[in-house]
Amino acid sequence: MTDNPARKIVILGALSAMAVQSARRFAAEGASFTLVARDTALLEREAQDLGARGAARVDIVAADLTDTADADGLLRQAAGKMGGLDTVLLFYGVLGDQARAETDADHAGTIIAVNYSSAAHWVLAAARILEQMDAPAGRVLLTASSVAGDRGRRSNYVYGSAKAGLSVLMQGLAHKWAAMPNAPRAVNLRLGFVDTPMTADVEKTAKPLWATPERIALIVERCVKRPGPPTVYAPWFWRWVMVLIRLMPSPVFNKVNL
């Protein structure tokens, strides 16, 4: 499937496994990129790879995304270099340790700051700029959230609460844009288990429920190119898994070790 003209994409958290696989799909169509992450050497290597795969232009920005003081400035600069901006993908996050977060306030603060506070700043900055852009390919803001935000569970409720906040923010933005003519689209992925370095220490007992970064990249590509719902469970079956979990009565839910 082709997308004409080629997209101009900012990726926040560009070195995550899902971001890397998603970028490769758009690179093959001649997209331009601004990659944002902390590690300069890895960003340079990723830029070279995307160039070899067909990317029209790849700029890199080494930055700690929890520093949001100049979020608008970074995005505007990226748009200036690429000659526009039509797609912002937000992939970064940290799983954290729930047990530690219950006794270590700094650790809990880091989980919340990375997964919600900073992400919210970048979402709002991207929204301001995308609303001002004239993009024939259609403007899209896509975030990677989690099914952990659908219902608080004892195993990860600090992480889940931050992702819930991000999901509600994106729902609200999608609601706002739905009432505006020629507005961008907001898409929030609610991810289930994905086999990435972030989940390397998680025991993978239910392997059929685990997705690869490549499978998620296919979903990202489809969501960017095709108008669809603002909330997308990835893979699809998590929608129905979470329906069951949300509807489970508390007396039953409390007996389940999740």
pLDDT tens, residue by residue, 51-103:
999 999 999 999 999 999 999 999 999 999 999 999 999 999 999 999 999 99
Q: Give catalytic residue positions.
A: 159
Residue with tokens 């900012």: 10
The pLDDT of residue 4 is 64
Cα-based distances in Å from 253 to 159, 160, 169: 19, 16, 27
Over the stretch 31-47, which tens digit does the pLDDT of each residue have? 999 999 999 999 999 99
In the predicted structure, residue 3 carries a pLDDT above the cut 50: no
Q: What are the structure tokens assigned to 173, written together? A: 């933005």
The pLDDT of residue 111 is 97
Split at pLDDT 50, 70, 90, the class of 205 is confident
Taking residues 191-214, what's their average pLDDT? 87
In the predicted structure, residue 1 carries a pLDDT above the cut 70: no
In the predicted structure, residue 240 carries a pLDDT above the cut 50: yes
- Name 15's Cβ contacts closer than 8 Å, sequence gap at least 6: 35, 37, 38, 39, 42, 43, 46
H helices, E strands: number in the chain: 10, 7
Over the stretch 127-147, which tens digit does the pLDDT of each residue have? 999 999 988 879 999 999 999
The pLDDT of residue 202 is 80
Dist. CA 114–CA 95, nearest whole Å: 10
Split at pLDDT 50, 70, 90, the class of 206 is confident
Over the stretch 98-125, which tens digit does the pLDDT of each residue have? 999 999 999 999 999 999 999 999 999 9
In the predicted structure, residue 2 carries a pLDDT above the cut 60: no
- How is the beta sheet containing 57-62 ordered, strand by strand? 57-62, 32-37, 8-12, 87-90, 140-146, 185-191, 231-234
Type of residue found at 221? E
